[in-house]
Structures are given as C-alpha cells and as structure tokens.
Amino acid sequence: MLWRSAGDLSQVSLGWGLAAFLLISLGEFGAVPLPGGGYASAVAAVDIASIFLLGPAATAWVHVAATLLVQGLVRRRALERVVHDVASSALATWLAGTAFVAAGGRVGALELPADLLPMVIGCVVYFVLDSLRVTSATASSWRAGWRSWQQVYGHGLLHHASFLGLGCWIAVVALHVGPWALPLLLLPVVVARHAFAHYVGIRGDLKDFVRALSEVLDEVDPYTRQHSVRVAQYAVRLAREMNATESEVEDLEYAALVHDLGKIGPQHQRILQKPGALTQEDQRTLRGHPATGAGIIGKVAALKRAAEIVRLHHERPDGRGYPLGLRGEQVPLGARILNVADAFDAMTSDRSYRRALEVEEALHELGRGAGTQFDPAVVRCLLALHDAGRFPKLASPSSEELQSLRFRPAQARM
C-alpha cells in the first residue's frame, strides 16, 4: 500500500522533503540511549511535523531513506535490524498520518482549533506504534514487552509527550510563517533533546550513587560483602514475579542496595562483631538501623520512596517488627519483599557466627515463618520460583575468604 503511494510524492515540496530528511537523519544520529534499553530522540517531533506538513506517505518514504542512510550505510547495523527499523518506522509514521487524515485533518493546511482533535489522534497513534516498535525489537513475550515499555517510556513519559507537542507547534508555525521559521524552530528541538539527555544522565548517575553507598558497608564489614547486591537481585526477581510496576521495582532495587546503610556507625559494628549473646541495649541499638539508613538516603528527593522501604523492611505480618509495629498489608509490598530477600540471603551466606544454611533449610525456615515473621504471599512466590528453577542461589564468599578480607587492611598498614 505504501508502495502504491509513491506516485503521490510528486506533489510534495522538494524543499520541505529535503528538510525533513536532513532533520530525521540528524535526529537518528543524536538518539539518546535509555537506562532500560532502547533510544529516544527528537525524531518524534520532526515526524509529527512532517506528517502534518507533507502527509503520511511522504513522511514514511523520507523515514525509509533516512533510516537506510543512518542505520545501514553509516552505522552498518545488521541487515535484519536495518530491515526491521526501516519497515517499522515507515509503518508507524504512515499509520499515524493516515489516522490524522481519517479524523478530518488537512495536510498542509492546519487551522486551530478545528484541526486540534485530528492532531491529537495522530500524535497518540504515532506514540503507541513507535513505542511498540522500539520495545518489541528485544522483547520475547508480551509480559517482557510490557516491562520493557515501562523501563523505556514509563519514567520519561512527559518528555516523550513533549516531543510530540513540539512537533505540532513546529507544523503550525511553519505553515503560517513559512520556511524562514525553520532555523528558529530548530533551537527548541535541540534544547529539548539536550534536556532529555541530561535527565537520562541524572537517572544513570543516581543508580551509580546508590551502588556506591552500598559499597560503603562492604568496606566497613567484610562479612556483609556483596550482601546488598545479592539481596537487590533476589528482591527484583520477586517483585517482577508479583507484578510490581517497573517504577516500584526500581525503588525496591535502590532500597535493597542500601538497606543496611544504617549499620555503618561504630556502635552497630561493635555489636555485629560481638561473639556472645546480645544484651537488650544491643538489640535496641540494632533496631535503630532502618531509621538511620532511611534518614540518610531520604535526604535525596529521588530516593524518598526507597527510604520508606528501608525504614519498614523489618516490619512483620504479626505486628512484632520494628520500628512501628505495623501489621500485614500496612507494610508496603516493597518492604515485605525486601524482608524476605534479606532473610534468604542472610541464611544462605556465611557469617562470623555460623556457616551458611543449605537452600532447602533456608526455604523451610521461610515457610515456617510465613504469616508471622515473613509475608506469606512473598514466601509463596519465592518457593514457586525455586520449584520452577527460576530462583537460583547467588554465589557468596566463604567464611575463610571473608576472614582474609577482614585482616587485609590491618596487614596493609603494618
């Protein structure tokens, strides 16, 4: 069908067509890699403007040419990847433009507010199809595709929507001012792309910052080396299996990486390394670590939700946990998951006072504490994953390895 429309291209302005080709090609070069996979660029703004100015067929063909140039000739991607990108991008723009025309939109003759509804419909169809083509490229199932969509588009939804709005604005201004408006219209596109890249960079820096915090405790107490990293991986598996959103999964991962940060104080380290039984005063001191850790990371605005999970991850279904004595579903799901993941790794790892339990022993202990110490739904999820072979134990250092780490700093100073 797109091939049959090739004859209509003779009616398209050569200048606007070349401008669209150049801008789409530049947009492909400047695509921003996203933390969850995939890319985002200002191409969406150019696509939308081109659909309204040139029509669906012309925009689709321009996309074919630009994608072949950038992905095929310049970046030399694999042939099947290039074919996928060419076909999917052309189809997305063509269908979005067709929806715009079918809703009553007039190509090259926009008038507001009369054409506002068709423009919105065209933008929505474009976003749905473009996001589907990006996430379907690597997804192996519908469930994986939905999670990939959340990772790629969930957090930056407003940024993606702003590109579409910018495309509408470009089309309206270009029609009423003419080609001389193009240089002025490029500036907001460049600024929008730069702002989005800066936003993505900040999100990546945030994860690096949280990982750096998790390494602080590793240096203070080698017996918990990589404990937080393993707990984070366990917690993420459980959360996704329990259908948490990717935003919730991310908050939980951050919380798991720093859940023991409150133990960095010397008073906690003295108690954790104490060979004998703990006094009531020792126990009270240790029970303060969730609030201490939450207080530290809660100073970062982007980690407020993670801080709440840290604060409550020692609450219990029977109300005998701390610091607030909450019961059942009064405790956020993330904190309930973290509680189970933390306990599982603690039981299956060597500590200064005991050897690691076998996985089956740890699972038995979790099952025995379900409903009192541990959330029963989370425990059932972990057991089901284990039975299906999807919850393997992560490797942890032995007591001998950890003991050598403990003495290495002292030897280095001698």
Q: Which of 168-182, 368-382, 394-408 has the highest average model confidence (pLDDT)?
A: 368-382
Alpha helix segments (H runs only) across 156-181: 157-177
Give the pLDDT band of residue 353 (cuts 50, 70, 90).
low
Distance CA 97, CA 229 (A): 47
Identify the residue with better confidence: 192 or 297: 297
Distance CA 363, CA 342 (A): 13
> Is-contact 2 65, C-beta < 8 A?
no
Identify the residue with better confidence: 353 or 44: 44
Q: Which of 171, 146, 161, 142 is nearest to 40 (CA)?
A: 161
In the numeric block, which tokens belong to residue 145?
């595709």
Please write down the long-range contacts of 137-144, taking CB distance under 8 Å and 24 or more positions apart.
Answer: 137/38, 137/84, 137/88, 138/37, 138/38
Q: Which of 1-15, 182-196, 300-314 has the highest average model confidence (pLDDT)?
A: 300-314
Distance CA 397, CA 221 (A): 13
Identify the residue with better confidence: 414 or 265: 265
Q: Which residues contact 240 (CB under 8 A, 6 or more apart)?
A: 147, 249
Identify the residue with better confidence: 169 or 404: 169
The burial of 18, by beta-carbon neighbours within 10 Å (0-12 exposed, 13-18 middle, 19 or more buried), is given as: exposed
Distance CA 95, CA 125 (A): 8
Distance CA 3, CA 126 (A): 20
Distance CA 200, CA 208 (A): 13
Give the pLDDT band of residue 87 (cuts 50, 70, 90).
confident
The burial of 73, by beta-carbon neighbours within 10 Å (0-12 exposed, 13-18 middle, 19 or more buried), is given as: exposed
Residue 11: alpha-carbon gap to chain centroid: 44
Q: Which residues contact 114 (CB under 8 A, 6 or more apart)?
A: none
For residue 304, what pLDDT is reported? 95
Q: Which amino acid is at 108?
A: G
Mean pLDDT of the chain: 82
Distance CA 312, CA 330 (A): 10
Give the pLDDT band of residue 157 (cuts 50, 70, 90).
confident
State the CB neighbour count (10 A cutoff) for residue 210: 23
Distance CA 409, CA 401 (A): 14
Give the pLDDT band of residue 216 (cuts 50, 70, 90).
confident
In the numeric block, which tokens belong to residue 329?
């579903």
For residue 225, what pLDDT is reported? 67
Residues 103-119: b if buried by 16+ CB within 10 A, e if exposed: eebebeebeeeebeebb
Residue 40 backbone dihedrals phi, psi, to 5 degrees: -135, 145
Q: Which of 349, 343, 377 is nearest to 363 (CA)?
A: 343
Q: Which amino acid is at 79?
A: L
First to last CA, the chain: 79
Domains of the chain: 3-202 (1.10.1760), 221-405 (1.10.3210.10)
Arithmetic mean of pLDDT, 333-358:
90
In Å, what is the CA distance from 139 to each residue of 37, 148, 204, 325, 404?
11, 7, 22, 42, 43
Arithmetic mean of pLDDT, 141-149:
69
The model carries a pTM of 0.77
In the numeric block, which tokens belong to residue 393?
């134990």
207 dihedral zone (left: phi>0; alpha: psi -120 to 50; beta): alpha
State the CB neighbour count (10 A cutoff) for residue 202: 10
For residue 10, what pLDDT is reported? 47
Arithmetic mean of pLDDT, 12-32:
71
In the numeric block, which tokens belong to residue 396?
């942890």
In the numeric block, which tokens belong to residue 296?
């530290």
Identify the residue with better confidence: 198 or 100: 100
Helix (H) or strand (E) holding 79: helix 79-102
Give ∠ CA 334-145-380 in degrees, rounded to 5.
35
Q: Which of 354-358, 389-393, 409-413 has the highest average model confidence (pLDDT)?
A: 389-393
Q: Which of 35-44, 229-238, 286-295, 349-358 has the highest average model confidence (pLDDT)?
A: 229-238
- Lowest mean pLDDT of 57-61, 146-150, 243-247, name the range: 146-150
Identify the residue with better confidence: 293 or 37: 293
- pLDDT of 181 strictly over 80: no
Residue 25 backbone dihedrals phi, psi, to 5 degrees: -65, -45
Arithmetic mean of pLDDT, 211-238:
83
Rounded percentage of the chain residues whose pLDDT exceeds 90: 37
